[in-house]
Amino acid sequence: MSVSIKSPKEIELMRKAGRILCITLQELEKSIKPGMSTLQVDKIGEEIIRSYDCIPSFKNYEGYPASICVSINDEVVHGIPNSKHILRDGDIVSLDAGVIYKGYHSDAARTVAVGEVSETARKLIAVTRDSFYEGIKYAKEGYRIGDIGKAIQKYVKSNGFSVVRDLAGHGIGSHLHEEPEVPNFSTFRRGVKLKAGMTIAVEPMVNEGTSDVWWLDDDWTVVTADGLLSAHYENTILITEEEPELLSYPEDLRP
Ligand code: MF3
Ligand code: CO
């Protein structure tokens, strides 16, 4: 078991992949309107990715049938796009996408509001996003993988929500999923030591109620066991000796 250290050349390709993914998610987010089907969301996303000469990495990944994971309300992740799944005013929707640029991957997710959503939904989206930033305070050389999850869990819990424990973040590079696993909670052993040049996807999945989840019979869609809301926030990041670089959220693309 070993975690790869990326070369400057590999990092440059991952920067390009990350930038294109960031733009894709931003454009996709802008296109979200009540009345759209999740299949339409997938089509728009795939078109954007291919327009930048990238490959949508999720398509056919272990049999996943689409380019974007579109998960509504109590769907945690891996919602399969479907022409019958319609976004309605008041829903929250998680958009998760992956791109490959010249053999290198980037993976990121955002949860967005469809029209006007409840106060709780707004808070859940914000806490999920902010828990990522709490976690990556420890994403630098010298800390361990487990320090990230511990900080995420602490922040989520203090805000009255729960982190999903059955799914985790992951290393990423020439493959979508590489070592190490990046859990969103504290673990008995704190995991591998972080070193400059490691690239990982940190992705808190946060539930309004219980942390328990179920898989639907489609073998993909993960839903909350209690039917309450769930949100997701993910970026591909580069570990350095200082602050991590958010490869899928470059500084010049932030508001
Ligand atoms: N972002 C998810 C992950 O990191 C999505 C991949 S599942 C796929 O695991 F099958 F859709 F690719
Ligand atoms: Co991921």
Q: What is the pLDDT of residues 98-148, one digit of tens each?
A: 999 999 999 999 999 999 999 999 999 999 999 999 999 999 999 999 999
Q: Which residues pair with 162 in a beta bridge?
A: 207
Distance in Å, CA 58 to ligand 1 centroid: 6
Query: Distance from the CA of 202 to the center of ligand 2, in angstroms?
Result: 7
Residue of 25, 59, 77 best suited for mutating to test ligand 1, as the one with most atoms within 8 Å of CB: 77
> Given the CA of residue 167, which atom of ligand 1 is nearest to it?
9
Cα of 78 vs centre of ligand 1, distance in Å, is: 7
CA of 61, nearest ligand number: 1
Contacts of 219 (CB under 8 A, 6+ apart): none
Confidence label for 14 from pLDDT (cuts 50, 70 and 90) = very high
Which pLDDT value is given to residue 2? 86
Minimum mean pLDDT among 149-158, 167-176, 183-192: which range?
A: 183-192
69 Cα to the center of ligand 1, angstroms:
8
Mutate to test the pocket of ligand 1, among 24, 55, 61, 132 (most ligand atoms within 8 A of CB): 61
Residue 124, H or E segment: helix 119-135
Domains, the chain, ranges and CATH?
8-253 (3.90.230.10)
Q: Whose CA is nearest to atom 12 of ligand 1?
A: 58
Write the residue with the smallest CA distance to atom 6 of ligand 1.
58
* Integer Rg of the chain from CA: 17
Is the per-residue pLDDT at 1 higher than 70? no
Backbone torsions φ then ψ of 42, nearest 5 degrees: -65, -45
Question: Does any ligand 1 atom lie closer than 6 A to the CB of residue 178?
Answer: no
Tell me how far the alpha carbon of residue 192 lies from the centroid of ligand 1, in angstroms: 22
Q: What distance in angstroms lies between residue 56's CA and the mean position of ligand 1's atoms?
A: 11
Confidence of residue 154 (pLDDT cuts 50, 70, 90): very high
| pLDDT over 70 (residue 8) | yes
Q: Is 46 in the pocket of ligand 1 (CB under 6 A)?
A: no
- For residue 187, what is the DSSP state? -
Is residue 34 scored above 80 in pLDDT?
A: yes
pTM: 0.98
Q: Which of 105, 107, 172 maximizes ligand 1 atoms within 8 Å of its Cβ, making it the mutation to test the pocket?
A: 107
pLDDT category at 188 given cuts 50, 70, 90 is confident
Q: What is the mean pLDDT of residues 180-187?
A: 97
